[in-house]
């Protein structure tokens, strides 16, 4: 079972990787087409080219997320991660969208945990991005909290956003499960699946508590003795 899972994961990785390369080539050609045909085509043709470009950029987002997803279990070495510093970097990277969303982000002081820094960055970035994206009240208030038990850290990302109905709280962790159309909220529906895989790779659990029209809180645990 474990072996066939590994093989499936390897297969998904190779296919996604090849798809990404082909997409990149198609993208270069269509960009050239756009450049060389500038002002030579009618409006309808220009519009069609733009649709192709939008489609490609969406497929690039998808292949990027799928690559990340299939790579989580690929031999990544654990080190001591200063999560307070790592969160600081994540918040700096998100600072433009935080101010565009008119959001106020506060956080407890995080500790040092054992894990893979790159995956912790993806985990926190995904959860904070969702808290920013599914906003409701202005200003959006987001808090990153931490509690501690004997054997684990329990981290949380809490928002005052649109919330999630109880019946969806499990389903949203599956690949491609989204509750809204792309027109309402952009995204691939892979973010929470990546978060779940990352947390489980570190030996923890992840879950969301939420109330529609009040807000959501995503919790995850990281064992202290990894």
Residues that bind ligand ADP (CB under 6 A): 126, 130-131, 134, 159, 161-164, 172, 177-180, 187-193, 216
Surface-to-core class of residue 99, CB atoms within 10 Å of its CB (0-12 exposed, 13-18 middle, 19+ buried): exposed
Three-state secondary-structure class, residue 122: helix
| C-beta closer to ligand ADP: residue 12 or 49 | 12
Using an 8 Å Cβ cutoff, are 141 and 103 in contact?
yes
Q: How far is the CB of 34 from ligand ADP (least distance, A)?
A: 27
Three-state secondary-structure class, residue 54: helix
Angle made by CA atoms 89, 94, 97, in degrees to the nearest 5 = 165
| C-beta closer to Mg ion: residue 191 or 215 | 191
Using an 8 Å Cβ cutoff, are 191 and 173 in contact?
no
Cα–chain center distance at 109: 23
Q: How far is the CB of 147 from Mg ion (least distance, A)?
A: 24
Q: How many other CB atoms are there within 10 angstroms of residue 164's CB atom? A: 19
One of 115, 161, 163, 191 touching Mg ion (CB under 5 A)? 191
Residue 164 touches which of ligand ADP, Mg ion, none (Cβ within 5-8 Å per kind): ligand ADP
Site string for Mg ion, 104-143 (x = CB under 5 A): --------------------------x-------------
Using an 8 Å Cβ cutoff, are 131 and 144 in contact?
no
Q: Is 163 in the site for Mg ion (CB under 5 A)?
A: no
Using an 8 Å Cβ cutoff, are 90 and 125 in contact?
yes
Q: Is 65 in the site for Mg ion (CB under 5 A)?
A: no
| C-beta closer to ligand ADP: residue 85 or 174 | 174
Q: How far is the CB of 7 from ligand ADP (least distance, A)?
A: 25
Q: How far is the CB of 185 from Mg ion (least distance, A)?
A: 9
């Amino acid at each position: 079972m474990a072996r066939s899972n590994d093989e499936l994961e390897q297969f998904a990785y190779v296919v996604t990787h090849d798809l990404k390369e082909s997409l990149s080539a198609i993208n270069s050609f269509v960009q050239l087409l756009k450049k060389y045909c500038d002002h030579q085509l009618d409006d309808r043709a220009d519009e069609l080219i733009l649709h192709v470009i939008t489609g490609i950029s969406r497929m690039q987002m998808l292949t990027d997320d799928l690559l990340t997803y299939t790579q989580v279990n690929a031999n990544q070495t654990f080190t001591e991660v200063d999560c307070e510093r790592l969160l600081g970097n994540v918040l700096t990277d998100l600072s433009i969208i935080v101010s565009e969303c008119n959001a106020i982000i506060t956080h407890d002081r995080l500790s040092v945990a054992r894990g893979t820094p790159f995956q912790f960055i993806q985990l926190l970035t995904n959860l904070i991005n969702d808290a920013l994206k599914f906003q409701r009240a202005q200003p959006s208030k987001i808090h990153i909290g931490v509690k501690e038990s004997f054997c684990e850290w329990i981290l949380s990302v809490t928002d005052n956003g649109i919330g999630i109905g109880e019946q969806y709280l499990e389903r949203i962790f599956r690949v491609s499960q989204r509750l809204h159309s792309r027109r309402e909220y952009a995204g691939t529906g892979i973010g929470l699946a990546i978060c779940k895989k990352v947390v489980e790779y570190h030996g923890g659990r992840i879950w969301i508590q939420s109330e529609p029209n009040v807000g959501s809180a995503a919790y995850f645990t990281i064992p202290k003795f990894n």
